[in-house]
Amino acid sequence: YDIALEHHLNCTVEFYTYPAVGSHGAEPPQAVAAKLRQADVVAAITSYSISHTDARQEATKAGARLASMPGFLARMFAPGGPMAVDYNQVAAEGQAFADLLTAAQDAVVRTPEGTDLHFSLAGRYGESDHGLYTAKGSWGNLPAGEAYIAPVEGTAQGKLVVPSGWYPGLEEDMTLYFRDGLVYALEGGGVTGAEFLDLLKPEDDRDPYRSRRNLAELGIGTNPNASHLD
């Protein structure tokens, strides 16, 4: 905020706060939505992401350029941090991977820890999370750096092993088993595994549990300085 005030003397710069909304994708208060619609540039440093909200959509539709930055830390600007990269290079590499994903018919994910997961990508289009939001109405994440695609629903088969320490609070390996696109069983994970079981409820075929169990995205990281796992 102070840096923006110093370097953009002819612009109105405002630092606006609001109570935490409790989950990613939850709508911010109407007063916040109104502020977003009036802005030219938004750095949304929040506890919970506003990326997939009506408030964000209305703001960018009105022309705002918006960076969604949930959980952002000041050290990300430091040398060696994920903001201290050449984002033109990140964008180029991300687009190259996105093109490969678009051209692919199937994907197989294997790891030394035991992951062996395969699914269809037929007819799906890869996208690049590039970090360059220079056009009016553009938006995305910061830090950025990912090529991603949505697998064909109902096609994922196999298992995904999440090694201990990879996810915050995960003190032992956790394995998710997929059949016909959905998680049907979960093993390990300790306390975190129990929390995920309660969230997914593999035995319950109703929504929102069924939708939560769907394998929804394959992402390939392209930011060379990324290290923050959550």
- Specify if 103 maps to a domain: yes
- Specify if 26 maps to a domain: yes
Is residue 94 domain-shared with residue 197, that is, in the same domain?
Answer: yes
């009105």: which residue's tokens? 62
Give the whole-angstrom CA distance, residue 78 versus residue 62.
Answer: 33
Average pLDDT over residues 49-75: 96
Give the whole-angstrom CA distance, residue 85 versus residue 70.
Answer: 19
Asked if residue 2 has pLDDT above 70, the reply is yes
Asked if residue 82 has pLDDT above 90, the reply is yes
Q: Give the pLDDT confidence of 100-141 residue by residue, as tens digits.
A: 999 999 999 999 999 999 999 999 999 999 999 999 999 999
Report how many domains make up the chain: 2
- Specify if 193 maps to a domain: yes
User: Taking a C-beta distance cutoff of 8 angstroms, is the pair 192, 130 a contact?
Assistant: no
Is residue 43 domain-shared with residue 97, that is, in the same domain?
Answer: no
Is residue 61 domain-shared with residue 113, that is, in the same domain?
Answer: no
Q: Give the pLDDT confidence of 4-55 residue by residue, as tens digits.
A: 878 887 888 899 999 999 999 999 999 999 999 999 999 999 999 999 999 9
Is residue 125 domain-shared with residue 46, that is, in the same domain?
Answer: no
Helix axes 54-61, 30-38, angle to 10 degrees: 20
pTM above 0.85, yes or no: yes
Asked if residue 229 has pLDDT above 70, the reply is no
Average pLDDT over residues 138-151: 97
Count of alpha carbons within 13 Å of 93, Cβ hemisphere only?
Answer: 15
Amino acid at residue number 207 = D
Range of the structural domain that residue 14 is part of: 2-72
Is residue 140 domain-shared with residue 114, that is, in the same domain?
Answer: yes
Is residue 216 domain-shared with residue 141, that is, in the same domain?
Answer: yes
- Specify if 81 maps to a domain: no
Edge-to-edge strands, sheet with 116-120: 106-110, 116-120, 157-162, 174-179, 182-188
Q: Give the pLDDT confidence of 157-212 residue by residue, as tens digits.
A: 999 999 998 888 899 999 999 999 999 999 999 999 999 999 999 999 999 999 99
Per-residue b or e along 17-56, where b marks 16 or more CB atoms closer than 10 Å to that residue's CB: eeeebeebeeebeeebbebbbebeebbbbbebbbbebebb
